[in-house]
Chain A
Amino acid sequence: MAIYRYNPTWMETKYLLINALNETLVLDLYDFNDHRKNSKLSSATFDLARLLEDSTQEEIVSPLLKDGKERGELRYDVSYYPVIEAEPGNEEALDSST
């Protein structure tokens, strides 16, 4: 009998728009299936409020949980880039620079 442990590497960067920092980022780990529905293996969560203290959080390791049981761990970075508020009267300058 073999007990497999999978250590997949993605090294991918995604950008998400967020509306509030009091929410939770959910990272779900799925198993890709060609013809059937992708099945969810486990998920990890990250509290976006942590970005208030430090807007760049690197090398986060979160437990991957399924039904309260730990099913491995996930490594990722999260950085937060707030929207730059346009100063009234200065909006044109910002527009032309983009």
Chain B
Amino acid sequence: MERVRRRARDDIQRELVKSRLTSEHESADWLNHFLDRFWLIYEPVLSSTVVSSVDQILSTNTPPFLDSLRLSQFTLGTKAPRIDKVRTFPRTEDDIVMMDWGISFTPNDISDLTPRQAQNKVNPKIVLSIRVGKGLATASMPVLLENITFSGLMRIRMKLMSNFPHVQVVDISFLEKPVIDYSLKPIGGETFGFDIANVCFHLFHLNLQLTLFKIPGLSSFIRDMTHATLGPMMYDPNVFTLNLEQMLSGKPLNAAIGVIQVSVHSARGIKGSKIGGGTPDPFVSLSINNRSELARTKYKLNTCVYICSFRFIFI
């Protein structure tokens, strides 16, 4: 009798929890505590990954008014992101775990830090190097991104499997556009000197910094860029899929999937002439997604089978 009652109670409890899971958000304080500790160890690894991958994206997506845009420094600071709420969906297939996570990252809010933590706190710091100008007349300047806050609602879906690592695929998607906020600040790299030549340079530098403040597009450009890059990648209904099975199977992710053979035959009707006269010596350069050049043909010396169409101007 006692055994039956105990089992019944256990079953009822499990079912009750299920219905509560779907309807209510729960806080995840235990996990946040874990994150706080883990973050200190994981953050350097994460930052270096971000620098290398974002730098690549930025270098190919420079806005037209800038010569180049690079990410040179990136750290997220010592304060870990927080999971505000978790909602679980128990009514999925047996091998699928689905959860909604509300995540916020407010590294500059120090109200919930102990004095000791506040002492060792490292602020998040993102430094972008921007080159403005064209050709020879370019100037480089670092720009600091500060006061970053981020919050969003994320859906995580995991598909389980029986082999190691037991999670086959993780799908991540933002259910709504996350809130991203920050302020941009140019920083002068050099200290002021008394050299006259230097002063001139600094005046120029200062001038540029002031104009940068006034570049209306830059701040919103970076925000739009972030949304535009992340949008097709992981905003609902798009999902960002991590295939853990493939990643851990030891196969390198950046392995080539094949070779393409490109035979360049000819071009027709190229217009344009050389600076300072003469005919162009054209060659074709091949690249993927405008990344670095992979191959180029030989150039053809003044190969011009020109269709002459003369127009005489009579005076």
Tell me, in angstroms, the Cα distance from A4 to B274 when the chains sit together: 12
For window 268-315 of B, CB contacts with A under 8 Å fall at 268-275, 279-290, 294-300, 303-311, 313
Q: Is the CB of A75 within 8 A of B270?
A: no
The B interface, classified by DSSP as helix, strand, loop or mixed, is loop
Q: Mark B248-268, 1 if CB is under 8 A from A, else 0.
A: 000000111111111111111
B287 to chain A, nearest CB (A): 5
Q: Is the CB of B295 within 8 A of A14?
A: yes
Q: Is the CB of A73 within 8 A of B268?
A: yes
Q: Is the CB of B269 within 8 A of A73?
A: yes
B258 to chain A, nearest CB (A): 4
A5: chain B residues at CB < 8 Å are: 268-271, 306-307
Count, A-B residue pairs, CB within 8 A: 216
Beta-carbon nearest neighbor of A56 in chain B: B261
B305: chain A residues at CB < 8 Å are: 6-7
For window 86-141 of B, CB contacts with A under 8 Å fall at none
Q: Is the CB of B288 within 8 A of A16?
A: yes
Tell me, in angstroms, the Cα distance from A94 to B280 when the chains sit together: 47
Q: How large is the interface on A (under 10, 10 to 19, 20 to 34, 35 or more residues)?
A: 35 or more
On B, residues with C-beta under 8 Å from A are: 254-275, 279-290, 294-300, 303-311, 313
On A, residues with C-beta under 8 Å from B are: 1-21, 23-33, 38-39, 41-42, 48, 51, 64, 66, 71-83
Show 28 residue pairs from A and B whose CB-CB distance is below 8 angstroms, ordered by the A residue. Answer: A4-B273, A5-B270, A6-B267, A6-B304, A6-B305, A10-B265, A12-B297, A14-B262, A14-B295, A14-B297, A16-B295, A17-B256, A17-B259, A18-B260, A19-B256, A24-B288, A27-B264, A27-B284, A27-B285, A28-B285, A31-B280, A33-B281, A48-B260, A48-B288, A51-B260, A71-B269, A73-B268, A76-B265
